[in-house]
Structures are given as C-alpha cells and as structure tokens.
Amino acid sequence: MENNETTPPVQPAAAPRPMGAPPMHRESSAGPRRPGGPGRGRFAPRRKVCRLCAEHIDLVDYKQAQIVKTFCTDTGKMLSRRITGACAKHQRQIARAVKINRNLSLMSYN
Ligand SMILES: [Zn+2]
C-alpha cells in the first residue's frame, strides 16, 4: 500500500501583519511635487531668481549693452519675464534700455 499523500508541513502563508500597518506603502522618491491636472508636472517647478538681483545690479544702464542683450533673442526681441526670470523692477529697466538702444541703433528692431 502506497501513500502518495505526502502532505508538506503546513506553513503559515505570511507573518501576521500588525493591524495598523498600511498595505504596500509607496515611498515617493521624487521629492515634493505639487499635484496638478494633466499637462502639469512634466517639469519640476523651479523658482527662477532674477539674475540682476543676484549680481546686485541696481540699475540697468542702456550703455551696458552686453547685459541688455542677454535678455533679448538673437533677432533683437525682448525676452519675457517668464523666460528670463527677471523681477518686475529689472524687467522695466531692461525694457527701457532695449528701447533706448534700438533708438540709438545699438540694437536691431527685428
Ligand atoms: Zn531683479
């Protein structure tokens, strides 16, 4: 008489979980991220710092054409604050300087 019923010793399936433990808690390693709708959150929000404030340039002079030109495209268009990150005070000074420089033909209009 053969005994095929080789029953393995009954093991407990898993260690009993404590009652208060959350099931499969997923750690977010991406850091703090703002919840947003679709289209948001593809780029990490980064606070831009005004470059002129960082360099402690109080007044943007139109004669500093090298500084003014860094806030413009190659074709001479002014870049917006959204792109340059300049503060309102410096953006006004940049806009003034660009217009003066255009009038003095230090910069191009187009
Ligand atoms: Zn500034």
Give the model's confidence band at 109: pLDDT under 50 very low, under 70 low, under 90 confident, else very high: confident
Closest CA to 93 of 76, 71, 66: 71
Distance of CA 100 to the CA centre of its chain: 33
Looking at the domain 63-110, which fold is it? 30s Ribosomal Protein S18 (4.10.640)
Count how many residues are written for the chain.
110
Task: Indicate the SS3 state at residue 72.
Answer: strand
Q: Separation of 52 CA from ligand 1 center, angstroms?
A: 5
Token digits for 18? Answer: 């404590």
pTM, two decimal places: 0.57
pLDDT of residue 39: 61
Give the model's confidence band at 37: pLDDT under 50 very low, under 70 low, under 90 confident, else very high: low
Q: Separation of 89 CA from ligand 1 center, angstroms?
A: 6
Q: Separation of 57 CA from ligand 1 center, angstroms?
A: 8
> In this predicted model, what pLDDT tens digit does every residue of 7-34 receive, in sequence order?
566 666 666 666 665 556 555 555 555 5
> In this predicted model, what pLDDT tens digit does every residue of 50-104 receive, in sequence order?
999 999 999 999 998 888 999 999 888 999 999 999 999 999 999 999 999 999 9
The DSSP bridge partners found for residue 72 are 78
Mean model confidence pLDDT for the chain: 78
- Kindly report the CA angle at 58 between 72 and 61, in degrees rounded to 5? 50
